[in-house]
A and B are shown apart, each in its own frame.
Chain A
């Protein structure tokens, strides 16, 4: 866990953490889009009809 240790600049590690950050944002947006597109169809397959989950 992070404490008061002062990190030094390391471009390779920054790229690594940046990649994880980017992946997280892409997944959030991507899965959100997929849910809107295929959500109703998936509900039909799983439940056998359109159900309002909320």
Chain B
């Protein structure tokens, strides 16, 4: 009975070597996700494509993995009181409409024969833009700006609202107004507009959109960083769950891939999130910015590879993305253990 259930769900179709590989890769992705609060969705699908899975299985299983990861992370943020369900509900509505509009644009561009090229260019610009912003922010860091994990330990009402969000809150006062966690009062229309715009990009690029939505919530709506992270994850539970269901109906979700990935990433996310309390986030942010920039270059190389019909270039693009992820997660682990050892030595010296 159990055998037939597992077989039906695809578990028994995966070899032990592949299961081990998926657990390991899940661990790497989990460390990054736990540390930065984003970066999961754009790593898994390319890796599955590289392993010769059908595109629908790669995208569907990638999405189901993001769904599972978001469930785990939302449970954690819920325990810490960092999920604003009111904001989440408004965001889900706006995002869903935006995603549909984005998808319709893809079909329209596809009918013109322009979809592939424009999507890749948009990806390169966006990934490169966010990567450059994060790197610049980390290099010029004075303790403010950017996505700071130490803020998670701060009281929400003490959190400083970015200047641009304050301006939006002052100028756009179209009712109905809502009060969010951290005493942020903002028009429902601002939230809907942000949700629509980020949903549009998300639907257009076919990604979860955490790396677009989270900065948008911080800089345009003005919610504290921990609430932006928690609410974004809550939203991904819904969009990811529905997306996985739709892909699952077409046979696109393989439990033999998703279950081991999740097994590794749940552990990795715990390590990554614990590391944020030990490591100076600004130092690692440079790596993350670098990883996004390498991602942008890799997508560009992959696109050139498929344009000129060179599988080597396509492979190089994918190896670059995965290699950068592995290097950054090892850098996080190494820095964390070194910092802990240093702390211990300092503690011993003080005691002496």
By a beta-carbon cutoff of 8 Å, the part of chain A in contact with chain B is 1-5, 7-8, 10, 12-17, 19-21, 23-25, 27-28, 31, 35, 43, 46-49, 51, 53-54
Q: Chain A: which residue is nearest B348 at the CB level? A: A49
Q: Which chain B residues border A14 with CB–CB below 8 Å?
A: 245
Q: Is the CB of B344 within 8 A of A5?
A: no
A21–B262 alpha-carbon span in the complex (Å): 11
Given contacts A1-B202, A28-B266, 11 further A-B pairs with CB under 8 A are A1-B243, A2-B240, A7-B246, A7-B249, A15-B9, A17-B241, A20-B255, A20-B262, A28-B72, A46-B337, A53-B278
With the chains together, A20 CA to B22 CA distance in Å? 15
Are A13 and B266 in contact, CB atoms less than 8 angstroms apart? Answer: no
A25–B255 touching, CB < 8 Å: no
Interface SS of chain A: helix
Q: How many A-B residue pairs have CB under 8 A?
A: 116
Q: How far is the CA of A15 from the CA of B270 in the complex (A)?
A: 27
Q: How far is the CB of B62 from chain A (nearest CB, A)?
A: 11
Query: With a CB–CB cut-off of 8 A, which chain B residues contact A54?
Result: 277
Is B242 in the interface zone, CB < 8 Å from A? yes
* B295: Cβ under 8 A from any A Cβ: no
Tell which of B72, B103, B249, B262 touches A10, judged by Cβ atoms closer than 8 Å.
B249
Select the residue from A10, A35, A53 with max chain B CB neighbours within 10 A: A53
Q: Name 10 interchain pairs, CB-CB below 8 A, sorted by A.
A: A1-B99, A1-B208, A1-B239, A2-B243, A4-B100, A7-B249, A19-B9, A20-B244, A20-B253, A23-B263
Asked if residues A3 and B8 are in contact (CB atoms below 8 Å), the reply is no
Query: Which residue of B has the minimal Cβ distance to A39?
Result: B274
Which of B75, B245, B344, B347 interacts with A28 by CB under 8 Å?
Answer: B75
Q: Does B206 lie at the interface of the complex (its beta carbon under 8 Å from any beta carbon of A)?
A: yes
Give the residue of B71, B207, B262, B344 whose beta carbon is less than 8 angstroms from that of A1: B207
Bound-complex Cα distance A5 to B102 (A):
13
Interface flag for B63 (CB, 8 Å): yes
Residue pair B255, A4 in contact (C-beta under 8 Å): no
Tell which of A8, A23, A28, A53 touches B274, judged by Cβ atoms closer than 8 Å: A53
Please indicate the chain A residues that have their CB under 8 angstroms from the CB of B263 in the complex.
23, 27
The reply to whether A17 and B100 contact each other, CB–CB distance below 8 Å, is no
Closest Cβ of chain B to A33, distance in Å, is 12
Bound form: Cα–Cα A12–B239 in Å:
20
Which of A1, A17, A25, A49 is close to B245, meaning CB atoms less than 8 Å apart? A17
The answer on a CB contact under 8 Å between A1 and B203 is yes
**Which residues on the B side are within 8 Å of A25 (C-beta)?**
71, 75
B267 contacts the other chain (CB 8 A): yes
State the Cβ distance, B288 to closest chain A Cβ, in Å.
21
Q: Are B64 and A31 in contact (CB under 8 A)?
A: no
CB distance from B276 to the nearest CB of A (A): 10
The residues of B that contact A4 with a CB separation of less than 8 Å are 96-97, 100
B270→A35 contact, CB < 8 A: yes
When chains A and B are docked, how far (Å) is the Cα of A40 from the Cα of B267? Answer: 16
CA of A53 to CA of B203, assembled, Å: 40
Chain B positions 333-352 with a Cβ under 8 Å from a chain A Cβ: 337, 340-341, 343-344, 347-348
